[in-house]
Structure 1
Amino acid sequence: MAETWQWFTRWQGCLWFALGLMSTRDVVWLYMGMLIAVGLALGVMLVAAPRALIEAIPGPLGLALAGLMAVVMLAFIDTLRRLDLLETHASGVAHVKADLEASVRALQHRQRELVASEQRFRGLVDAQGDVILRKAADGRLTFVNDAFCIVFGVTRDQVIGQRLSIEAHPDESGAPNAYAPSGGQPRIRYDQRIKTRDGWRWFAWEDYVIRNEAGGLGETQSVGRDITDQKHLEAELREARDTALQGDKAKTMFLATMSHEIRTPMNGVLGMAGLLLDTKLTPEQRTYAKAVRQSGEALLDIINDILDFSKIESGTLELEETPFDPRSLVESVAELLAPRADEKGIEIAVYAHPRAAARIAADEGRVRQVLINLAGNAVKFTDFGGVRIVVQPDGDGRFLRFEVQDTGVGISKEAQARIFDVFVQADSSLARKYGGTGLGLAISQKVVTAMGGTIGVESTPGKGSKFWFTIPFKRAGQSEASTDAQMQGVRVLVATQYPGIGEFLVRQLCDAGADAFAARNLAAAETALNSGSFQLMITDWVLGGAGVEGALARAKARDPNFKAIVLLSAQQRSRLADAEAQGFSAYLIKPVRAASLITRAVKVLAGTPDDGGASVEGADEGAEVAQPTEGLRVLMAEDNRINVLLATNLLTKMGHRVDTVGNGKEALEALSRAPYDLVLMDVHMPEMDGLEATQRIRRAEAASARRGRPALRIPIVALTANAMEGDRQVCLDAGMDDFLTKPLDPEALRAILRRYTPGTVVLQSAHNAA
């Protein structure tokens, strides 16, 4: 038994050794063959051998056979297990292989994309006209594009790895090291003139930092663009600007000189014409004198337009905000234009909305200028009918709207589109007929725009035009003359030749609380008087060619308390006696001020004695000026003999004593000899001008005060033909107190003189008033 087991063990070891040298597939086939062979052998033996033979098989051999069968079975099972495990491993390896192959394909695809992207980027960089370069921290170039190579005439192989050395122009500092890109300032820009293959060229550089993977400072990339043409253009523009500034300065000097040289003789012409009209003249002589004055005033208007346009074009137009009454403003403009309108046989009507009657803060002078321009044009281009001037709130009440409507020639749609352009008139034939520079409307538009408003026109050819403009404003108090509810319940009939006047008079009366009605002709007026109980009638002298005295007499016969006020033009003052004889209780001069209308109506209804009733201020034409009770002693420094004669006559008529000198030096000598209440100082004089003379006077006053002997500050008024913006301030800065322009306006001169009376100790300086 022991020998048999030993034999089996040796046989099994040999079998395992042999199996270990074989492949798995061979082992499987061997096991299968052994199992089949053993199985067949055992089967044959068991079937064919006799029982005795079987029983005769020794025990060890049976055990060996059984063991062999068991070993073969166990080996077979183990082999199957290993085979299954091997297949599992092979499947895993296949998956890993597939994944690896997919990863390799993806990497290859990305690599191809990166190569393509790099090619595109390099193509873009090389196609750029801008110079692009990169340099390391030590200044060595790591990249340059084709443009760099072309501009500097090098190849990449020559410069890559070399330190950057670009020659800057000796006059150009380039980009200082202090402004090199850094962490705090990662990007800088600068212009630099550098030497290139084509010579000195201007480049605009932009340098910025490219950070490394750690976020630190890596390379610096510079992009440069050739701006030589731009620099040349800028130089040309600077030269053109300097030339334009010089030209503008020359134009300003020319205009100032023109203003002075033209205004000086014009002062004499207008002043002497005014003095002549104050004398006793025959009607023919008075007509000629008026023509001289009107021609001079027209020339002065042209000069003023040119000067204003020059101020606007040079940007020196200054606006000042002062409180004024819009109603009083439009009424004064209408009064100013009334004589011209009366000469043409047309009427001017004015209406101020009650909400526009409050005082406002705006530039009164500029508003007046625009209004005179528009209303003056309306009178000029209207041959029949009349002109209506209206002021009223606009929109939400933050703007004031002024309207000037006429019944003149009208303007076509095509002409309206360019009517506010410079030197443009609606029709060249109108320019020949009516005259004018074509600057008025252009100036008005620019002035209104400068004030923050708008201007426009509405017109129908053959029927008339309406020009309007708006300005922003601030409230500055109530109107100086309020007419609210002063005629509550009074019934008034208004009969006028021009419907515009009648309409506006009715509005003004209704604003004061009256029940007012308008009649367009004499028949309508008589019908109204017969059918209604009116207490007052306001009427033109003539209605439709017929006098109103008959209708007035019949109305008074029906009601002895009935009152009537006649409307007259300034030229009809001579008929006042006739008006009184025909039963009129009072008169009003057209254009009628609202305050005068209501005041006169209230007095007439109350039976208060009449005080004259004129709605315009000032003395009658040709009348002597009232003499002041105590005159001033005036020193006048003026080198033009005509101006001296004119001013001397005006001042003497006003009751003042006048001494004259011819320059500033003589003025100083005269002041050292005698005290004066006022100095009229011309600015431009020979030997010593008015500015220097004034400065010396002020220094002498200051020196006297320091010595403990303070002297009275003598008022000095500039008298100059200069009317450019800034001339006034120059005079005030020199120490003058006021400013008068030539030609001398008697009313302006009178207003200046009223401010200074003998014994004045403290004067309000125009520096503070301005």
Structure 2
Amino acid sequence: MSELARLREKVSDGLAATPAQPADRVDTTSHHGGAGRGIDARSITLYVAASLSVGAFSAALIALAVPYAVTVALASFFGAVLVGLLYYAMFGQSFQYPGKLPADDLDVRLRQTQNRSLIAEIQEAMGDIIVIRNMDRRIVEANAVFREVTGCSAPEGLSCEEIGIAFRPGDKAHAYDVEIATPFGQRIFSWHDVVTRDLASSRLLISSIARDVTEERLALGERENARLRAEKADAEKARLLATVSHEIRLPLSGMLGMNHLLSQTKLNEEQRNYLDGMKQSGQSLVQLVEDLLDYSTMEAGRFKLNPRAENLRRLIESIVEMLAHRAHEKGIEITSFVTPDVPDYLDFDPARLRQVLFNLLGNAVKFTQVGGVIIRARMVEGELHITVEDTGPGMSQADQARIFGEFEQAGPMSQQSGGTGLGLAISARIVREFGGSLTVFSRKGEGSTFKLAFRPGSSSTGTPDPDRHHCLQHTNVLLIAPRGVAATVTMEAIKAFGGKCALIHEPEDLERLHGTAADLTDIIVDRRISPLFRDALRDWPQQNVRRTLLVSPEERASTMHASFDAWLIRPLREKSLIDVLCGRLRGIERRDAINDNHPDVGFSSRVTEGVSGIDILVAEDDAVNARIIRAVLEKSGYIVRGVDDFQALQQAVAPGTTRLPHLIISDLNMPGGEGLEVLPELLGTLKGGRNIPLIVLSGDASVETAEILLNAGAAKVLTKPADPRRLVEEIRRLLEAKRLLPS
């Protein structure tokens, strides 16, 4: 007998253990051949004839007085024959006794068996485990791979656990990782279960397949361990940098603070130059610490933006003013221009954008020896474009390709400039976080242009001021200034605001304008060349023309020439320029920016009006820094008390204390507790009816630390070394808000 015939016989007799079929696909149709062919006239005739025959047969038996039981039995037999005939008439095949299958079903079952046998052979060749268990999880059948892997030659009737298979819970139902102690060592298999129904017996079974994934799981585990090790190393590095940062900032704060106090004393020019050098060195070290902390934060993936609505014009102007002294010391110009189409307020992270622009402008000033630096901002199809242009030495294509890399600097000037080479790399990453790009275009000997482009946040509510385009439409200005970027941008700004402007550089040019300048409204003269034009301006025929003198911040304390009606400071502020040309401002406005390289002219720690009797408590454990803060505040007229640990600070503001301070300044790290735990607790007690403002001085510059303290109720968090002027201004602002000082 052939193999096919034997398999057919096994299936027909129900002796073969037919592979199971999933329960949701069990065939519930009749085993007698699908849908019938219907009952035709011949079948009906046969059925009627058979019925009459059964009836006649039964009547004959009764007539012959055959016992009733025998009559019923014979009639039943005859009826069974009738049912068989009807079945044949309806389905065209003979009646099958239980256990035998019709030929059509046998062929279907045979094909299914062959397909499943082929699949099982393929899986076995691939080394997959195949095992079938009943609902009690006892093994019914297992393939050779299972027997070989487990070392159990007769697993039938046993459970997997009894054989030594350990199941691990999986993320998905009926999917597990199992560990099996094989003759080849401990192996991991990916195990999948499915509930099926056996066609022959209609029993529910659990069919399982498993594949060896030991190498994949070990590799995955190694990657996870590597990730955890990297995270631990990053955390340790962050803690180290935070600690080092604090330890560096502490002496830096003392050095720069003492420098500030010394600069307020009577000094000769040589001594002042030495102090300026000390201050620049200290600030360079502060910037180095900031760069390293930012780089570490970005590498650890903990960097995040904090966007909010901010005035872009003020931000750009303040940065330009901070760098003006550096530029003017080198004999170069620095200026800015924001086009009228830029809204007053846009959504961005002001601290991070300031960092990027300060870096770009600082580099431009650093590398430019002749000419000047311009920063421009404009809107292009909803995107903010900011460019920083300089007239420096320029860069080669090779330098441009690597300039945004870590620890990279470009050109031979980099050997003289110092720095870590991290500034541009950090700036590029910040701009990418903005969703934008930072690019450079440069040619050797022609300067460089850095372009920052990003789309401000979608919640921006600012819209361009429609009046800005024509606010100077009745203005006709004669600008007398040296050749350079500042004069060019000033003329460009006046025209952008709707005014007219003529620019001259030489006295001869002024003489040619005498007959054509009858409608002039303003003359702006740069103090650098004003002596050349003194006589010509004195004899100017139009005496009703408003005359404005343009001076640098360093010159604003000097005596102005009496022939001028108003004054402006370089670099120009947009609002100041418009106010002067519209007649709304006469004198030099108060600058908000802190000059980063020179003590602000006119500022000293002099007595502030109305501070008499204001009591400030200073909590600082470093004696040098405590002495600096005390000196600055006492020179401003405040009463200052000091403590040097958290315990003394808590006692000074404890309930029942008769002398409470009006304001507290506290270091974040002092003996007597952990600052991030003690200060929030202290702030909670200060809110209970006393509402004493607290300024925190911290050597930790992280945003997370500042957020914790501000959310706990701190009035302000200042990073060490804190600028003395800013500290005094913050104190005044807080006391004015409490109405303890006149505003």
Identical columns (%): 31
Deviates more, 1:638-647 or 1:614-623: 614-623
The answer to which structure has the higher helix fraction is: 1
Say yes or no: does 1:424 pair with 2:404. no
Which residue number corresponds to residue 9 of structure 1?
none
How far the C-alpha of 1:165 sits from its partner, in A, is 4.0
- Secondary structure of the residue aligned to 1:408 is coil
State how far apart, in whole Å, the 2-side matches of 1:520 and 1:214 are. Answer: 107
Which of the residues 453, 457, 462 maps onto 2:440?
A: 457
Check the 8 A contact 1:499/1:520 in 2, yes or no: no
CA displacement at 1:724 relative to structure 2: 2.4
Tell me what 1:610 maps to.
Answer: 586
**Shift of the alpha carbon at 1:353?**
1.0
For 1:250 and 1:174, locate their aligned partners in 2 and report how far apart those are by CA, in whole Å. 33
Offset at residue 244 of structure 1 (A) = 2.0
Amino acid at match of 2:587: D
Compared CA separation, residues 480 and 356, structure 1 to 2 (3 A):
closer
2:285 to 299, 312, 327: 299
Secondary structure of the 1:660 match is: strand
Structure 1 residues without counterparts, runs of 5 or longer: 1-108, 180-184, 706-710, 764-770
Residues of 2 paired with 1:485 and 1:610: CA distance?
21
CA spacing shift, 1:121–1:693, aligned 2, 3 Å: closer
Distance (whole Å) between structure 2 residues aligned to residue 725 and residue 639 of structure 1: 24
8 Å Cα contact 2:697-2:718 kept in structure 1: yes
More moved, 513-522 vs 261-270: 513-522
1:665 to 644, 647, 671: 647
Distance 1:175 1:569, change over 3 A: closer
* TM-score (structure 2 length as normaliser): 0.75
Give yes or no for contact 2:686–2:692 (8 Å, CA) kept in 1.
Answer: no
User: In the TM superposition, what is the alpha-carbon distance from 1:276 to its structure 2 partner?
Assistant: 1.3
Tell me the SS of whatever aligns to 1:548.
helix
The Cα of 1:322 is off from its aligned counterpart by 2.8
**2:622 maps to which of 637, 640, 643:** 640
SS in 2 for 1:206: strand
* Segment drifting more, 560-569 vs 741-750: 560-569
Q: Flag the 1:350–1:760 CA change in 2: closer, same or farther, 3 A.
A: closer
Q: 1:655–1:369: structure 2 CA closer, same or farther, 3 Å change rule?
A: same
Aligned residue pair count: 626
1:130 is matched by which residue type in structure 2? D
1:394 aligns with 2:377: no
In structure 2, the residue matched to 1:593 is: 573
Assess, with a 3 A threshold, how the Cα gap between structure 1 residues 455 and 270 changes in structure 2: closer, same or farther: same
Match of 1:564 among 531, 539, 547: 547
Partner of 1:194: 180
Please say if residues 355 and 393 of structure 1, whose CA atoms lie closer than 8 Å, have aligned partners that are also in contact: yes
Q: Which has the larger Rg?
A: 1
Distance in 1 (alpha carbons) for counterparts of 2:501 and 2:621: 60
Whole-Å separation in 2 of the counterparts to 1:135 and 1:630: 89
Cα deviation 1:602-632 (Å, max 9, x = unaligned): 32xxxx8932467676862565646222342
- What code does the residue aligned with 1:131 have? I
How far apart, in 2, do the equivalents of 1:283 and 1:380 lie? 24
**Equivalent pair of 2:167/2:176 in contact (CA under 8 Å):** no
The residue aligned with 1:548 is 533
Q: Is the 8 A contact 2:339 2:378 kept in 1?
A: yes
**Alignment correspondent of 1:439:** 422
CA offsets 1:673-706 (integer angstroms, 9 cap, x no match)? 522101112222224565565466557668xx6x
**Structure 1 counterpart of 2:543, which letter?**
P
| Structure 1 residues 661 and 195: CA distance shift in structure 2, 3 A | same
Specify the SS of the correspondent of 2:413.
helix
**How far apart, CA to CA, are the structure 1 residues paired with 2:680 and 2:113?**
84
Residues in 2 aligned to 1:700 and 1:493: alpha-carbon distance in whole angstroms: 62
Q: Distance in 2 between matches of 1:386 and 1:747?
A: 29
- Give the direction of change, closer, same or farther, for the CA distance of 1:642–1:518 in structure 2 (3 Å limit): same
User: What amino acid maps onto 2:410 in structure 1?
Assistant: A
Question: What residue identity is the alignment partner of 1:340?
Answer: R
| Matches of 2:734 and 2:117, distance apart in 1 | 91
Of the three residues 309, 315, 331, the one matched with 2:317 is 331
Query: Which residue number in structure 2 is paired with residue 491 of structure 1?
Result: 476
Greater mean alpha carbon deviation, residues 735-744 or residues 635-644:
735-744
Code of the residue aligned with 1:587 in structure 2: it is: W
Contact 2:340–2:496 (CA under 8 A) maintained in structure 1 = yes
Give TM-score, length-normalised by structure 1: 0.73
Q: Report what 1:21 is aligned to.
A: none
* Structure 2 partner of 1:243: 229
Per the alignment, residue 148 of structure 1 pairs with 146
Match of 2:495 in 1: 510
Deviation at 1:122, TM superposition (A): 5.5
Aligned to 2:724: 746
**CA 1:169–1:471 in structure 2 vs 1: closer, same or farther (change >3 Å)?**
farther
> Hey, what's the Cα distance between the residues in 2 that align with 1:759 and 1:340?
35
Q: Give 3-state SS (helix, strand or coil) of 1:417's partner.
A: helix
Q: Given residue 503 of structure 2, which amino acid in structure 1 is its aligned partner?
A: A
Q: Output the amino acid matched with 1:665.
A: Q
Q: Deviations over 1:427-472 (max 9, x none)?
A: 4x43321111111112112222223332222222221111122242
The 1:168/1:620 distance shift into structure 2, 3 A limit, reads farther
Match of 1:27 in 2: none
472-481 or 299-308, larger mean C-alpha shift: 472-481
Contact 1:206 1:224 in 2 (8 A): yes
Match for residue 353 of structure 2 among 364, 367, 377: 367
1:405 counterpart (383, 386, 389): 389
> Deviations 1:393-422 (Å, cap 9, x if unpaired)?
122x2x322211111122222332332222
For residues 32-57 of structure 1, the C-alpha deviation after alignment (integer angstroms, 9 at most, x for no partner) is xxxxxxxxxxxxxxxxxxxxxxxxxx
**Alignment counterpart, residue 707 of structure 2, candidates 729, 733, 740:** 729
Query: Residues 189-338 of structure 1 correspond to what in structure 2 (within 5 A)?
Result: 189-212=175-198, 219-338=205-324
Structure 2: any 5+ residue segments left out of the alignment?
A: 1-106, 595-599
**AA in 1 matched with 2:696:** A
**Is this contact kept in 1: 2:680–2:712, CA < 8 A?**
yes
Deviation digits for residues 301-320 of structure 1 (CA, Å, limit 9, x no counterpart):
11111112222222333432
Deviation at 1:283, TM superposition (A): 0.4
